[in-house]
Every structure is written in C-alpha cells, then in structure tokens.
Amino acid sequence: MSLPHSFLLMYILSCTDSVRLVNGSSQCTGRVEVLHRGQWGTVCDDNWNIKAAAVVCRELGCGEAVDALHQSHFGSGSELIWMDDVVCKGSESTLKNCASAEFGIHDCDHNKHAGVICSEVRLVGGSRCSGRVEVLHGMTWVRVCDADFNKQDAEVVCRELGCGPPVEVLGAATFGMGEVQELTKEFQCRGSESQIHLCPRSTLKHNCSHSNYVGLVCAGKSLK
C-alpha cells in the first residue's frame, strides 16, 4: 500500500533533520532542539554531559564536542520540551537513540534547556589531537594551506579541541591530502580566540598545491 505524499515528507524530514542547534553563533553551536511529530522542542539539561554533546555534534556533521551547557545558556526557546533525563554512551548515531524519558514527559522548566558547542575544526589522518587541519566552511569541510597557517592559528585549534598547546605545525600534506576542497581564505588569529571561526580571515596570499596542506600536532590527548 502506498503512503500519502504528506506522510512520506514528514517521515523523511524526521529522519534527516531530527536535531538542530538554535540561537548560537553558527549551526554548530546553540540550544539543542529535536523534531518530534512534526514539531521542534527542547531538551532538558538533567544528566546532560559531554557524551550527549558528542552525539549531537556527530549527528550534525560538526567537529568535536567542545562543551555541554546547562541552564538555558542559549535562551529558553520553544514551549515544547520533548526530551528529559537523556543518557548517552557517546557512540549513538542520533540523539534519539540515547536513553531518555518518554517523549514529552519531563520535570523540567524553561530555565533548564541543554546547549552544545561543537568545534568547527577537526584533525584528520592522525590521532585525536594530531592530523590534517580541516575547518567547517558553511556545511562543508575544507583543507587549509600550510603557507597561510601559523603558530597563533595552531594555538586556537589545539585549544578548541581541548588538546593542550601546539607542538608542531607540519606542511607538505604530512597527514595526507584528503578529498575535501581547499579553504579560499587565510586565518589571522591572535592566538587567544576560543574557536577558529572567531578568527579574522583575509584573502589567500599564496596558491596552494595539492601537496601543501597543513598538519598539526597538539601536546596531548583530549583534556575533556
């Protein structure tokens, strides 16, 4: 039996857009909201932690979970509160797969909504704290040219990922070339910024060949 088009559309939306971050500085930062029965609602911050934040960041295609926030840090949002007592292992593919109270059942008020900050940078091809630098540009991950990346930029990336100070900035595609596109802007970080997307950017001064993408080694494992 074929299903009505309107039902199919709602089903597709609920599967592909089941979580979002609202009222933050980008699509990777904000108040957590989930889609249920065609309506967006919030998540209570009871038990909310970095493992739950990691699931949200992964589901959204953002970078690493930087922080799990409480007390409606990003505002109170919708009247609907869909999820409470969320407990994630951290490996779930979607927030809805985490253990929680029944949808819509909660003992939460609008001063206790959960928030998330995801990184907009990742290190690929190495370990948790080393690899090829890729940054989120819109909804796309892009590589960074080594000629336009310096120690101040490295300090921001390592700090954002919770990996301590930078140890070494590497060029010549030390961690491989990857398959994503190249960033067309140069970062001009002061070194004190908490996240790479807060750094000013300018037009590239150099042409970047396929073998000149920057890699980074930070001091240690995640500090979170």
**pLDDT of 34-60, one tens digit each?**
999 999 999 999 999 999 999 999 999
CA distances from residue 193 to 42, 86, 185, 199, 218 in whole angstroms, order as listed: 29, 31, 18, 7, 16
pLDDT tens for each residue of 8-19: 333 333 334 799
**Residue 185 binned pLDDT confidence (cut-offs 50, 70, 90):** confident
The per-residue pLDDT for 176 is 80
**Residue 3 binned pLDDT confidence (cut-offs 50, 70, 90):** very low
Is the torsion defined by CA of 27, 65, 38, 47 positive or negative? negative
The per-residue pLDDT for 205 is 67
Q: Mapped to the 3 state alphabet, what secondary structure does 62-128 carry?
A: CCCEEEEECCCCCCCCCCCEEECCCECCCCCCCHHHCECCCCCCCCCCCCCECEEEECCEEEEEEEC
pLDDT tens for each residue of 135-182: 988 778 888 888 878 999 999 999 999 899 999 999 877 888 777 777
- Is the CATH number 3.10.250.10 carried by domain 5-118? yes
Q: Per-domain residue ranges for the chain? A: 5-118, 121-218
Measured distance CA(94)–CA(86) in Å, rounded: 12
pLDDT tens for each residue of 55-70: 999 999 888 898 999 9
The per-residue pLDDT for 210 is 60
Measured distance CA(173)–CA(133) in Å, rounded: 10
The per-residue pLDDT for 45 is 95
Is pTM, for the whole model, over 0.75? yes
Q: Which token pair is 16? A: 């592909």
Would you say 221 and 128 are in contact if contact means Cβ atoms under 8 Å apart? yes
The per-residue pLDDT for 10 is 33
The per-residue pLDDT for 186 is 83
- Is the CATH number 3.40.50.720 carried by domain 121-218? no
pLDDT tens for each residue of 71-113: 999 998 777 999 999 999 999 999 999 999 999 899 999 899 9
- H or E stretch covering 60: helix 50-60
Measured distance CA(53)–CA(135) in Å, rounded: 19
The per-residue pLDDT for 8 is 32
pLDDT tens for each residue of 121-135: 999 988 889 999 999
Q: Check for a shared fold between 5-118 and 121-218.
A: yes
Strands 181-182 and 140-143: parallel
Would you say 112 and 86 are in contact if contact means Cβ atoms under 8 Å apart? no
More confident residue, 46 or 183: 46
